[in-house]
Amino acid sequence: MPGGGDDRRLLREAAGDLTALGVTGVQGIAADGRRTSTARSGVADIRTGAPVPRDGYFRMGSNTKTFAAVVVLQLVAEGRLSLSDSVERWLPGVVAGNGNDGRRVTVRQLLQHTSGIYNYTNDLPGLASPEAYLEHRFEHLDPEELVAIAMKHEPVFAPGTSWDYSNTNYILAGMVIEKITGKRWGTVVRERITRPLGLSHTYSPGDVPTLPRPHARATSSSSPADRCWTPRCST
């Protein structure tokens, strides 16, 4: 970013654009080793209008895909794998059945969402309704189990012939990372990305169901009035 006041202005504009689209609260931080700029937009509690806390924690969600892709590209640069490698080479027998064939799917296609592999999240029971979420929210599924859900379906298209967003692609990318490094993908991301960048508050929570405070609460509630940041918010 340009620096100084421009940093803050650009951050404010970006944060404002997101809340204009309907996001309840946004926080942005930019640091270049010399200065740190922050911006926030929206509210922490829609009932009181309290601002988003500057030290608030957010779930990363699909931003983890960016981290996984960076690690894969680092491993490619180190000569430890190729983007043209088949998934079968690193995860033999994992992508198979119902027309799925890991020999035909490349690592590049995983990263680009051009593998044609079915999106397992379409079948997760906990996403069917608020009631289903409450019933299933503490269930644990290993990466292999998530991929197995996708393998119950035929490919959406032949590998490399189209594009379709699929979380299964990045579950597989994470499994490839673990196979090559011999470490959990979260550990690899910490060693290669977050620690070198000084992102001391960015981490992989695993199965821990809570976040450090302050953080958003009731974000999956069917009642918008329950959405807030404060720990005192009733859910």
Model confidence pLDDT, tens digit, residues 13-27: 999 999 999 888 888
Answer yes or no: do 119 and 183 share one domain.
yes
Residue 196: which pLDDT band, with cuts at 50, 70 and 90? very high
Asked if the peptide bond before residue 214 counts as cis, ω within 30 degrees of 0, the response is: yes
The answer to whether residue 4 scores a pLDDT higher than 60 is no
| CA gap 131, 151 in Å, rounded | 26
Q: Which residues pair with 115 in a beta bridge?
A: none
Answer yes or no: do 128 and 44 share one domain.
no
| CA gap 108, 119 in Å, rounded | 17
Q: Which residues pair with 101 in a beta bridge?
A: 96
Amino acid at 184: R
Question: What residues are annotated to the active site?
Answer: 62
Answer yes or no: do 80 and 159 share one domain.
yes
Burial (Cβ within 10 Å: 0-12, 13-18, ≥19) of residue 194: middle
How many structural domains compose the chain? 2
**pTM for the full predicted model:** 0.84
Q: Which pLDDT score is estimated for 145? A: 97
Q: Which residues pair with 51 in a beta bridge?
A: 43
The reply to whether 83 falls in a domain is: yes
> If phi over 0 gives left and psi between -120 and 50 gives alpha, with beta otherwise, what is residue 3?
left
The reply to whether 203 falls in a domain is: no
Q: Counting runs of H as helices and runs of E as strands, what totals does the chain give?
A: 8, 5
Q: Which pLDDT score is estimated for 134? A: 86
| CA gap 143, 179 in Å, rounded | 12
Q: Which residues pair with 100 in a beta bridge?
A: 97
Kind plus residue range of the DSSP H or E element containing 122:
none
Average pLDDT, the chain: 87
Answer yes or no: do 177 and 221 share one domain.
no
Q: Which pLDDT score is estimated for 231? A: 38
Model confidence pLDDT, tens digit, residues 217-232: 655 444 444 444 443 3
Range of the domain at 11: 5-59+211-226
Model confidence pLDDT, tens digit, residues 142-187: 999 999 999 999 999 999 999 999 999 999 999 999 999 999 999 9
